[in-house]
């Protein structure tokens, strides 16, 4: 495996950052706090040193955002939409630069990095249209001469805490909606992906200047969990939208609840697909391989469990293993590569440990699971493991490319295995039998927030609401009516009569 030279990678990052209008700070020797090191998983080398935000910086960011809120909430929503429309144009203009940064910091192959930026452009278009559609309802009042309706108002400062694996798309889902809904944003990106965050911030600031939006609508704060905790505890943060592990969600949710703030959580997934005896196997295998091995298994929507009818399980497993052996692993800048690096050595060791546990539980490694190359980067061949049953390791999310294959006999058993995990993000069924497909989508079918037919678990479009149930946290981001989480609802009763009838027939008065 050949990797590009280290200095080439850092130079490429700094050039892309510069074209987006962001500059790197000068780090003053050893006088200041320990700098934040931006590294690339491509070869583990340093891309840049940055200043972590101090607690005063975080406080100032929230205060600045709150000041901006007081103005922004009164700007008409379609005018707020102009800012997001301009942001979408700038993202299109800098699509290649941002994709470079996504590849450098998250290790995504070019096509997936470009796809992630496209997802940002799509949500900006969606949000700009939405800015004229923040509809409230009108209900029939039970009282004569009364009008009953609801109005959606801006909520306040939104803190966005995002993960390394979708370093910018998840930010854009939240930020494009928040801005049209009248809410400024303070963003704490993953400490692994600060440069993409700085590039997005620079583009958004430019869009704000060009469209005459107030200062202070967007702030980036960099650092470890301590920075996130400060946002979580700040009473001026109205909504904490956090994407990451279940462990992180468990820490965040009660703290936000304790101050009666709002939380939008997008946590772990342990997504499964059922392959029934009637499935179109050519289509199924293509869908499964992208969902399980794409993004090196590091999407929250990655397919991690395959539940296959016993009559075809050997055939399906062989076909998938055959396709896996064709997957090229290596530098994500190499056009022939489909599987880039894992984000860190920690991710590699977690994968290794999970495979050991699976084997100890009676699992058989069918293919993959080998480290490719050595040194400070961690490339692996995606693994397929046949499991005798759904053991604890199968029920846990390991953020790496491991696909566990299980066999089922009856459809009820398949659904029970499917739902028999703590997480509930995405799901799929491969079948040509309409009854099976509808049953999977029915109330007693998949218990996930996303349920697909004849398509894998990953790669959702922005138009639908994105999120899941159980330990996934229950939040919904992106399309449909996810915008409602970023606004507060006021119910309005207007009496335009000269009488004062009370609801429920209550009589009161002398």
Burial of 9 (0-12, 13-18, 19+ CB in 10 A): buried
Does residue 132 sit in helix, strand or coil?
A: coil
Nearer to ligand UN1, 48 or 170 (CB): 170
Indicate the helix (H) or strand (E) that contains 203: helix 194-211
Shortest approach of ligand UN1 to residue 115 CB, angstroms?
A: 8
Shortest approach of ligand UN1 to residue 301 CB, angstroms?
A: 4
CA atoms within 13 A on the CB side of 56: 0
Residues that bind ligand UN1 (CB under 6 A): 119, 165-166, 170, 243, 299-301, 458-460
Q: Which one of 119, 266, 436, 477 is the catalytic residue?
A: 266
Q: Are 258 and 235 in contact (CB under 8 A)?
A: no
266 has catalytic annotation: yes
Nearer to ligand UN1, 299 or 304 (CB): 299
Token output for 82: 């102009």
Does residue 451 sit in helix, strand or coil?
A: strand
Q: Which one of 124, 200, 263, 300 is the catalytic residue?
A: 300
Q: In whole angstroms, what is the distance from residue 106 CA to residue 350 CA?
A: 18
Q: Are 430 and 280 in contact (CB under 8 A)?
A: yes
Q: In whole angstroms, what is the distance from residue 502 CA to residue 409 CA?
A: 61
Nearer to ligand UN1, 244 or 368 (CB): 244
- Which spans in 2-94 are helix H? 6-19, 55-72, 77-93
Nearer to ligand UN1, 390 or 458 (CB): 458
Residue ranges with strand state E in 76-161? 138-139, 146-154, 157-161
Q: In whole angstroms, what is the distance from residue 491 CA to residue 10 CA?
A: 53
Nearer to ligand UN1, 131 or 172 (CB): 172
Q: In whole angstroms, what is the distance from residue 230 CA to residue 228 CA?
A: 5
Indicate the helix (H) or strand (E) that contains 402: strand 402-408
Nearer to ligand UN1, 170 or 207 (CB): 170
Nearer to ligand UN1, 232 or 460 (CB): 460
Nearest C-alpha neighbor of 336 from the set 110, 13, 99, 9: 110
Nearest C-alpha neighbor of 241 from the set 289, 171, 295: 171
DSSP code for 247: H
- Active-site positions read 266, 300
């Amino acid at each position: 495996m050949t990797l590009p030279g280290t200095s080439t990678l850092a130079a490429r990052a700094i050039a892309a950052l510069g074209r987006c209008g962001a500059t790197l700070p000068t780090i003053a020797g050893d006088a200041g706090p320990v700098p934040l090191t931006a590294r690339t998983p491509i070869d583990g080398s340093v891309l840049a040193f940055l200043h972590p935000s101090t607690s005063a910086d975080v406080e100032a960011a929230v205060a600045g955002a709150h000041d901006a809120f007081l103005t922004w909430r009164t700007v008409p929503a379609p005018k707020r939409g102009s800012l997001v429309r301009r942001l979408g144009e700038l993202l299109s203009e800098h699509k290649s630069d941002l994709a470079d940064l996504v590849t450098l910091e998250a290790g995504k192959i070019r096509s997936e990095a470009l796809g992630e930026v496209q997802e940002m452009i799509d949500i900006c278009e969606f949000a700009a249209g939405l800015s004229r559609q923040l509809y409230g309802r009108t209900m029939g009042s039970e009282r004569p001469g009364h009008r009953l309706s609801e109005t959606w108002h801006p909520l306040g400062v939104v803190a966005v805490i995002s993960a390394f694996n979708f370093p910018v798309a998840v930010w854009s889902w939240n930020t494009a909606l928040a801005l049209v809904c009248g809410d400024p944003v303070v963003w704490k990106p993953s400490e692994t992906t600060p440069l993409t965050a700085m590039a997005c911030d620079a583009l958004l600031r430019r869009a704000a200047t060009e469209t005459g939006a107030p200062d202070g609508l967007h702030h980036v704060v960099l650092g470890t969990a301590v920075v996130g905790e400060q946002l979580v505890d700040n009473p001026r943060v109205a909504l904490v939208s956090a994407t990451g592990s279940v462990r992180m969600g468990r820490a965040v949710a009660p703290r936000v609840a304790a101050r009666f703030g709002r939380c939008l959580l997008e946590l772990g997934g342990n997504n499964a697909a059922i392959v029934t005896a009637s499935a179109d196997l050519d289509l199924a295998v293509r869908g499964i391989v992208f969902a399980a091995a794409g993004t090196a298994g590091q999407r929250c929507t990655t397919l991690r469990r395959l539940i296959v009818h016993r009559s075809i399980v050997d055939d399906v497993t062989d076909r998938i293993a055959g396709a896996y052996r064709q997957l090229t692993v290596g530098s994500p800048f190499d056009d022939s590569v489909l599987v880039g690096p894992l984000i860190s050595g920690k991710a590699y060791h977690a994968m290794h440990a999970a495979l050991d546990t699976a084997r100890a539980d009676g699992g058989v490694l069918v293919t993959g699971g080998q480290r490719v190359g050595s040194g400070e980067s961690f490339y692996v061949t995606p693994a397929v493991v046949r499991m005798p049953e759904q053991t604890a390791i199968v029920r846990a999310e390991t953020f790496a490319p491991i696909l566990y294959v299980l066999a089922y006999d009856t459809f009820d058993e398949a659904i029970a295995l499917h739902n028999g995990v703590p997480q509930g993000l995405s799901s799929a069924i491969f079948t040509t039998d309409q009854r099976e497909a509808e049953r999977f989508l029915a109330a007693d079918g998949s218990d996930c927030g996303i349920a697909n037919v004849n398509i894998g678990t990953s790669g959702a479009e922005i138009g639908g609401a994105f999120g899941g149930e159980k330990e996934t946290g229950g939040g919904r981001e992106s399309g449909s009516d996810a915008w409602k989480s970023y606004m507060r609802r006021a119910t309005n009763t207007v009496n335009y009569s000269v009488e004062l009838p009370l609801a429920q027939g209550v009589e009161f008065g002398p």
